[in-house]
Amino acid sequence: MNLQNPKKYSMLVTQARQVADTFYRPISRKYDKAEHAYPKELDMLASLLDGMNEGADESTGATSASKRPSNNQDTGNKNGGNLSALLGVMELCYGDVGLLLAIPRQGLGNAAIAAVANDEQLARFKGKWAAMAITEPGCGSDSAAIRTTAVKDGDDYILNGEKIYVTSGARAEAVVVWATLDKNLGKAAIKSFVVEHGTPGMEVTRLEHKLGIKASDTAAITFTDCRVPAANLLGTPEIDLQKGFAGVMETFDNTRPLVAGMAVGVARAAIERTKELLADAIDLNYGALPLNASHAEATLYRLEAEYEAARLLTMKAAWMADNRIPNSKEASICKAKAGRTANEVTLKCVELAASLGYGEDELLEKWARDSKILDIFEGTQQIQLLIIARRLLGKGSAELK
């Protein structure tokens, strides 16, 4: 396994780090205090990303996270769109997670469209900012328990139900909605639909007040006899009882490494800032035994090791997606590891920095708040461990709950 970033992405990584340092961090606290205010500064950044991605086989945003074949005819090892998107996410979240989630046209719904849409849909939804709506009241971690319904009616589907905790749900131009075609057939009947804002029957009912990522809006949306064209169903409309839930779950194979990358980015930010704050009190020596180090030094050694493990696991999952290698288990492994690591790292860095880490003069306390959601959305820590166990033991959801 090559442990270095691909050289062809060095400019991407450098540019993303510059954005994090000089663009995100100066406005990070401003939008943390102004929850639900849209960061107008992001419009320019979104336009720059659009320009960088135009006509590129391997772009830098969420729309590149896909397992579809590349135009590149190289049949050997590929470092493609998933890895480039991941590296960009890691660097941008070194600056601010909430602002990364608020960039127009870079939502998780865009990654979902990139993962499973056909060529006609890719062309039609190109340039649309798409959120992703899965969670429902009474249906959080268990995506298979979705109760939002989609009933075929001529050339349309009629959606009824409620979605909550939709990231960018109010600002995005469209929402990828998970709904069931037949409740009696269980998870095999769950499909995803692209529903554009302004569609009659779709209504944003509230915006949530949150612990962190306040620059990103989180909405509740209801669908009441919402008529959606059948052409907006992503993937095949047939219900395959053999394949089951695998079709829509392929989305997570691409998005979970991206969320893990967010966690990796904020963990590194916390570690590096803590080193700066403690520079006069510690003397890091990686050639010495941890037993000979102070408590703060030994703690930083351990946090760095956890961070590095999370980073490498995340890069492996993205690389597998680029090479069209089944990566469901690895996507869950990296999401579980990185989410837990970011939580531990940011909280421990607040502790090490003492009163400095707890005040609003430093971003450490904000990163600690922001990091918690990264262990929750796109599947909680516990759900990831359950998925990993099923994969390792070769058991289905009915056998291992």
Q: Are residues 298 and 165 in the same domain?
A: no
Q: Which domain holds residue 219?
A: 130-234
Structural tokens at position 364: 């450490």
- Please report the DSSP string for 288-318 in residue order: S-GGGS-HHHHHHHHHHHHHHHHHHHHHHHH
CATH number for position 302 = 1.20.140.10
Q: Of 136, 306, 330, 378, which is the active-site residue? A: 378
Do residues 86 and 186 share a domain?
Answer: no
For residues 149 and 182, the answer to whether their CB atoms sit within 8 Å is: no
- Running DSSP on this structure, what letter comes out for residue 214? T
Nearest residue to 58 via CA among 330, 338, 318, 331: 318
What's the pLDDT at 108?
85
Strand 174-180, strand 218-229: pairing: unpaired
378 among known catalytic residues = yes
**Residues 59 and 162 reside in one and the same domain:** no
User: Is there a single domain that holds both residue 198 and residue 97?
Assistant: no
Q: Of 184, 202, 234, which marks where a domain is finished?
A: 234
Q: Are 109 and 182 in the same domain?
A: no
CA angle at 294 for the pair 290 and 297, rounded to the nearest 5°: 70
Count up the domains in the chain and report the number.
Answer: 3
Q: Which of 185, 200, 234 is the last residue of a domain?
A: 234
Query: pLDDT tens digits for the chain (401 residues)?
Result: 567 888 999 998 999 999 999 999 999 999 999 999 999 999 988 887 776 665 454 555 566 666 565 555 556 788 888 999 999 999 999 999 999 999 998 888 988 888 889 999 999 999 899 999 999 998 877 777 899 999 999 999 999 999 999 999 999 999 999 999 998 888 889 999 999 999 999 999 999 999 999 999 999 999 999 999 999 999 888 887 666 565 567 788 989 999 999 999 999 999 999 999 999 999 999 988 888 899 999 999 999 999 999 999 999 999 999 999 999 999 999 999 999 999 999 999 999 999 999 999 999 999 999 999 999 998 999 999 999 999 999 998 889 98
